[in-house]
Amino acid sequence: MRGFVGLVAAGALAFSGSAVSQSFTPPDPAVLDQSVLDQGAIDQGVMAALAQRGVPSASIAVVRGGKIVFAKAYGRRSVSPDRPATTAARYNIGSVSKQMTATALLMLVDEGKLSLDDTVDHWMPELTQANRITVRQVLSHTAGYKSFFQGEFLPIEGHRAISPRAVADRWAKQPLDFPPGSEWSYSNTDYTIAALIVERVSGRPLAAFLRERIFAPLGMTSATLVAGRPISAQDARGYTRYALGPLRPAPIVGDGWALGAGGLSMSATDLARWDIGVLHHSLLSAKAYAEQQTAAPLAGGKTAPYGLGVFVDEVGGHRRLEHPGSEHGYLTENRIYPDDDAAIVVSVNGDFGDAQNAIADQIEQLILGLPAPPKPDPRRARTAVDAAVRPQDLALAHRVFEQLSSGTLDRRLLTADANLYFTPTAVADYRASLGPLGAPSAFERLRSLKADGQEVSVYRLMWADQWMAAVMRVDPDGRVAVFKVFAPA
């Protein structure tokens, strides 16, 4: 699933910190083709990215010529107990799951059981404006339904199980964020609705449909729906961290929340097998794949950055289908290049640091022959400062930062969800890692917007030799719903 990725610009907010002890397993001999890729360059880049950002492990797979030519795991799939990463270990792929839910619906479209232009009221007439919203708009995030889990903390209720039907009832019966088809806004709720439609049309639970119709035909033997359960000891354990503190086990999302929108877990090589299926049009008609890979139209002749379950863009003149996956404890980056018969998969077991994008960028440059882009320096981006910031907003951000740095958090300032997040361990980690830095020489708001009734802001904090960023969400009653600090690599 996915929250505030666009505003935070995760690539610019990667972590630095003490390096985790790194190692790597030998590449899988069944898929290694030494003549296709420079293994040494990949090893060096992956190890540097993990060490620089303190991320425990990465598992990668690379497709060229329509086959997996490289697969390798680096680091530790578990820190305590200490277990090395392996190419067989599963990682939660978060929102990368959405393209599989979309494909399930498109398979039913190919079979003539529904149309992309059917309206949602065929199956859920009780949802807001269901008679005006099409399946296509649901799959392309242009329906206008509010998204659940947009914040950076797992809310109290997120720890508990819920039925997907209850998710749809709560978020898709609210007023729309915009008229259907007029705008684009990423919504996890859309894919809960998509999953429920798959189940009603097919008569099968989504997990069973995916297993029988997608995973088995493509040979994705490791793929499974996590469904709120802890994964096995053979798989990668998810980690988080508070500010610049040590690794901590990430919370587990309750069963039911992720259905359709996320929640799938698999090895990087099995996700690469999915990518090969896309490249070879293994599951859908050519027409359905074209629908999936075409940017969705918006009112006024504009287009969304999204097709049906995938972001659609290009890099260096190469067409690209991309989707990030963000789940508590995990980040995944999946990139497919349809015209190059190539793909890249990177999964990591830390929900911080943006190592997955740094690694994917490096491999992308190698396989497409692209030059490395210049690295921006946010410390010099003076024109990015938000001149409209109110003194009281800046003062509140200062106050929370100072309290966390000193370990004296006034919990009356926080919502219930924020109070749950700031455990004694979290507060101690913030104090230990931020306190020694002292007061920042600059504290500036870069961006702000209104989302879900909250004021959401990104701040830049600077010291003489480093900078960090903070995200803050404030409820209408003035209480802080989210405050998280990030540091760049």
Domain carrying residue 183: 1-373
The answer to whether residues 365 and 384 belong to one domain is no
Confidence tier at 3 by pLDDT (50, 70, 90): very low
The model's pLDDT over 97-138, given as tens digits with 9 standing for 90+, comes to: 999 999 999 999 999 999 999 999 999 999 999 999 999 999
* From 6-20, 21-35, 293-307, 379-393, the region with the lowest mean pLDDT: 6-20
Sign for the CA dihedral angle at 403, 405, 411, 413 comes to positive
The answer to whether residues 275 and 292 belong to one domain is yes
Mean pLDDT of 261-273: 97
Mean pLDDT of 193-211: 98
The answer to whether residues 367 and 392 belong to one domain is no
Question: How large a percentage of the chain has pLDDT more than 90?
Answer: 80
The model's pLDDT over 431-483, given as tens digits with 9 standing for 90+, comes to: 999 999 999 999 999 888 887 778 999 999 999 888 899 999 999 999 999 99
* From 220-234, 274-288, 424-438, the region with the lowest mean pLDDT: 220-234
* From 217-221, 226-230, 375-379, the region with the lowest mean pLDDT: 375-379
The answer to whether residues 62 and 145 belong to one domain is yes
Residue 38: the pLDDT is: 82
Q: How many domains does the chain have?
A: 2
Residue 28: the pLDDT is: 55
The answer to whether residues 37 and 73 belong to one domain is yes
Residue 9: the pLDDT is: 37
Say which CATH number the domain at 191 has.
3.40.710.10
The model's pLDDT over 16-63, given as tens digits with 9 standing for 90+, comes to: 233 333 455 555 554 545 445 788 899 999 999 999 999 999 999 999
Residue 391: the pLDDT is: 85
Distance, in Å, from the CA atom of 364 to the CA atom of 62, rounded to the nearest integer, reads 10
Last residue of a domain, one of 357, 373, 389: 373
When the pLDDT of each residue in the chain is averaged and rounded to a whole number, the result is 90
* From 21-30, 279-288, 416-425, the region with the lowest mean pLDDT: 21-30
Residue 6: the pLDDT is: 39
The answer to whether residues 116 and 256 belong to one domain is yes
Confidence tier at 488 by pLDDT (50, 70, 90): low
Is the separation of the CB atoms in 325 and 93 below 8 Å?
Answer: yes
The answer to whether residues 156 and 220 belong to one domain is yes
The answer to whether residues 304 and 438 belong to one domain is no
The model's pLDDT over 302-357, given as tens digits with 9 standing for 90+, comes to: 999 999 999 999 999 999 999 999 999 999 999 999 999 999 999 999 999 999 99
Confidence tier at 388 by pLDDT (50, 70, 90): confident
The answer to whether residues 465 and 319 belong to one domain is no
The answer to whether residues 238 and 111 belong to one domain is yes
* From 9-13, 28-32, 265-269, the region with the lowest mean pLDDT: 9-13
Is the separation of the CB atoms in 307 and 294 below 8 Å?
Answer: yes
Last residue of a domain, one of 354, 373, 392: 373
Residue 380: the pLDDT is: 55
Residue 387: the pLDDT is: 66
Confidence tier at 151 by pLDDT (50, 70, 90): confident
Say which CATH number the domain at 469 has.
3.10.450.590
The answer to whether residues 385 and 369 belong to one domain is no
* From 224-228, 235-239, 318-322, 356-360, the region with the lowest mean pLDDT: 224-228
Last residue of a domain, one of 373, 402, 425: 373
Confidence tier at 383 by pLDDT (50, 70, 90): very low
Residue 192: the pLDDT is: 98
The answer to whether residues 332 and 408 belong to one domain is no
